[in-house]
Every structure is written in structure tokens, then in C-alpha cells.
Amino acid sequence: MTDPLKRIRVYAAQTFFSFEFVFLLFLFAGCYKARPWLQWVPVDLTAFFFAVSVAVGAFILARKKVRFSRDALIVVGMGGFLFLYAVVSLTWSPGVLYAGKKALYLCTLTYWPLVAAALIVADSAERVRYILGGLFFFALWFAVESLFSFFQSSDQRLWAIGVAVEGADYISIGRIISLGAISIYGYYMLHAGSGLSLFLSLALLCCFVFVLMILGGRGPLLGMILSFALVPIAGWKKGSPFHLWNRKHVFLMVLVILAAAILAGYMITHSSLMPTIRRTYYLFAGIGESPLLRLDYYWRALRLWAETPILGHGIGSWPLLVGLGDIKEYPHNIILELLVELGLVGFLLFLAIPLKALYRSVSLKAIQKAPILLILLMIFADLFVNALCSGDLADNRLLFAAAGMLVMRGGHYTDPAGAPGSNGETASRMR
């Protein structure tokens, strides 16, 4: 198949009818199920696609004829110990309602992404590409919605508070768009060959970054920027597909400088910062209530952790300990949340999951053999930065899914540009 458009159509069809797309429908359900045009659906879409993805995933695992990766099994086991410990901590937690619900979600909605990503998705480079294609689809969907909202509103309102998409959380939307930017960057570097594909991928990358600028979410923008800081680490050596001075990277850097100059000129002439840039500046300058509240939360978390540093106060204890009641609330930092509620035991169990995945799977040598590993590492870095800014442990399903995908071994897979199945296998898709 030499026709690029035909290859894209085939790839899109395979992506939409894959287990990975159903898996993403579950992971992103919270971002789209509140849309007014979906209110007729009689069931909760998160629960529905969770059940469907588990059923299809169980069918795939039951049909698996080869042994599971040892690293994948260890990572899944570590996650199981972490969430089992969270359940055990209910015995000494002061929380009841929120704590019980949080423990339930951890053992189901949060654990399943780790299991599915490690045992199913990471088992095939083709499946990983379906995940990246699905990420791009959702990012494009939410970016188009955000731009539509942008152009339907007055400039004064937009520059004041950012874009609001009806029935959506702007931080979650921004997080998906940042992942879409990483996905399209991977396509640009590894697969785009024709002039049209190069132009479209760069145009979409610029579009995603612009939407991040107007949405107002600081975490998604910072996460994307820091994830791209990993590229020089993998691209310093000649021969690397991510070499900093290859033709694609030089063109991309020129485009970044040009776009930054245009944006800076526009903001200077209009005497107004874009919403995300302004809110980021306020965060580091300590201006407004949000930065002060975050700092207060962080100091409280450190003092509470010092009281029970080893075992923690128990799952779901944070809101009660700070006087907010038995409601869903968290310190807006996953590390501090783990230390307060699950102590050093829970923190080390959590830390062991990505470290085990990274230890043998991600290295410069592995990235040379399977460049797609760098894209997975960038996705994990993006989501980890976001977890340091917002969301409680049970809400960070994407982070656990990204950690699970890191067990994909570079030594077992090759990734030739444009190959439909880089490891010579055909992933078993939903029929």
C-alpha cells in the first residue's frame, strides 16, 4: 500500500474497531459523558465502557497463547499490592463515605488501566500505535470543540477566563490535548514522509498548542513542555530518529521560534496574556487565591505526614484531617496525597511501579531499537507532572495506564516507519 491516504484510512478503521479504542472510551468517559447531546443515554458511560473493556480484555487475555511478560506481571502485582494496602488502610482511616468509594474505585476503575496496559497494550507495538491513534482522535475532537467555543465567544471574555466547553472539565480536556500533541509529534518524527503529511502534522501540533494556551489549564501545558524536554536526552546521539539536528527537528524548532515570536508580539500589542500563560505566571508569582491555597495544602500535608510517616492516616483521610468533612478532596499533589494517606509504605509501592517498568524497558539503547518507547515515556512524564498538580489517586487512571505501557520491551520490538505491525505480529482486534 503506497497511497498515504489509503494507509491512513485503513489505520483509522483498525483503530476504531480495536480493544484500545474501547479502552480509551472508558478512560475518557468523564470528559465527554456530561455533554448535553449524550444526556439521553440511560447508563453511566464510565461504568458501561469499563464493563465492555473488561469483557473484551478478558477475552483477549484468555486467547493469549504465549506467556505473559515477566516485567508486566511484576508491575501488575505491584499495583495490586498498592491497592490492597489502600483497602487495608480503611481499618485505621477516619474516613467512611469518601474513603470507601475511593478504595472501591482504586481496585476497579484505577487498577484495570494498569492491568490492561501492561498485559494487553504493551504486548504489541501495533496496539501501542492504536492507543496513540485513539489519543489523537480524542485530542482532535476536544480541540475542535474548544476552538468552536473560542470563536463563538467575545475576545474580552476569552482573554479574561479562558475557554469553557459545555459539559467538560477544562483541565481534563487540556490533559488529553497535550497527549494528542505528543502523539502527533511521534507521527511527525517517525512516520510522516510526504510533504502533505509533514505539513498536516505540524499544523495539527500548532493547533493543539494554541488550544492549550487558551483553555487556561496550567498542568497540561507544563506537562507537555516538560515531556518534550526528554527529546534532547534521546536525540543527542547521531543515528537516533530523534536526533536534534535532523531535518524534521530543525524545521520544527524554526516553527516554534516563529510561533512564539508571533504570540509574543500579539500579546504585547494587545497588552494581554493568553489565559494559560497568565494563570501560570500567577502561580509562580503567588498571585491570587489558588497558589496560596495550594501552598497551604502542601504545608498541611507535610505536617500530617510527619504525624504517621510509615503507615499514613488511611485512605480518604485527607479531607477529614484538614476539616473539610467526609467529601472528595485532596492535596492536589499525588506524592503528598500518598504520604498523608498511605505513608512511606504506599508511596514506595506506588514508586516501584514506574521504576520497575523503566528499569529494563526504557534506555537509550531500547529507544534506538523501538523509538516509540520515547513517545510512551513522554506520555508518562506529561501525566506525572499533571498528577503533581491536580487529581486524586483514584482519578489518575491515565497515569497508571501509561506506567503499564512502559513495560513494552525495546529489545523485543522494532518500529520501522510506516510498518503496520512492527514486531511482525498482527494484534488481535475486536471483530
- Of the candidates 136, 135, 161, the residue with the CA atom closest to the CA atom of residue 149: 161
Separation of alpha carbons 369 and 412, rounded Å? 9
The DSSP string of 166-184 is TTS-HHHHHHHHHHHHHHH
Q: For residue 288, give Cα distances in angstroms to 91, 301, 326.
A: 39, 21, 27
3-state secondary structure of 267: helix
| pTM for the structure as a whole | 0.90
Separation of alpha carbons 181 and 100, rounded Å? 36
Q: What is the helix, strand, coil percentage profile of the chain, to 5?
A: 70, 0, 30
Residue 424 lies in a domain: no
Taking only the tens place, the pLDDT of each residue in 281-323 is 777 777 767 778 888 999 999 999 999 999 999 999 999 999 9
Q: For residue 6, give Cα distances in angstroms to 9, 42, 320, 341, 372.
A: 5, 37, 57, 52, 23
3-state secondary structure of 274: coil
Separation of alpha carbons 108 and 97, rounded Å? 17
Separation of alpha carbons 67 and 238, rounded Å? 36
pLDDT at 430: 47
pLDDT at 352: 95
- Of the candidates 103, 94, 92, the residue with the CA atom closest to the CA atom of residue 326: 94
Residue 120 lies in a domain: yes
Q: What is the mean pLDDT of each run of 10 residues along the chain (431 residues)?
A: 66 88 95 86 94 96 84 94 97 95 96 96 91 95 87 55 55 92 93 84 92 87 92 78 84 88 80 77 74 87 96 96 92 95 97 87 75 93 93 93 87 42 38 38
- Of the candidates 16, 276, 255, the residue with the CA atom closest to the CA atom of residue 146: 276
Taking only the tens place, the pLDDT of each residue in 82-117 is 999 999 999 999 999 999 999 999 999 999 999 999
- Of the candidates 128, 131, 150, the residue with the CA atom closest to the CA atom of residue 139: 131
Range of the domain at 370: 4-63+84-412
pLDDT at 325: 92
pLDDT at 280: 79
Count of domains observed in the chain: 1
- C-alpha grid cell for residue 259? 510561533
Separation of alpha carbons 174 and 208, rounded Å? 9
End-to-end distance of the chain based on CA atoms, in angstroms?
22
Residue 75 lies in a domain: no
235 C-beta neighbours (distance < 10 Å), count:
20
pLDDT at 396: 94
- C-alpha grid cell for residue 38? 449524550
Rg of the chain over CA atoms, in angstroms?
22
Residue 292 lies in a domain: yes
Place of cell 491570587: 288
Residue 366 lies in a domain: yes
pLDDT at 54: 97
Run of H or E residues at 82: helix 70-88
CB 20 within 8 A of CB 127: yes
Separation of alpha carbons 115 and 172, rounded Å? 22
pLDDT at 193: 78
pLDDT at 422: 37
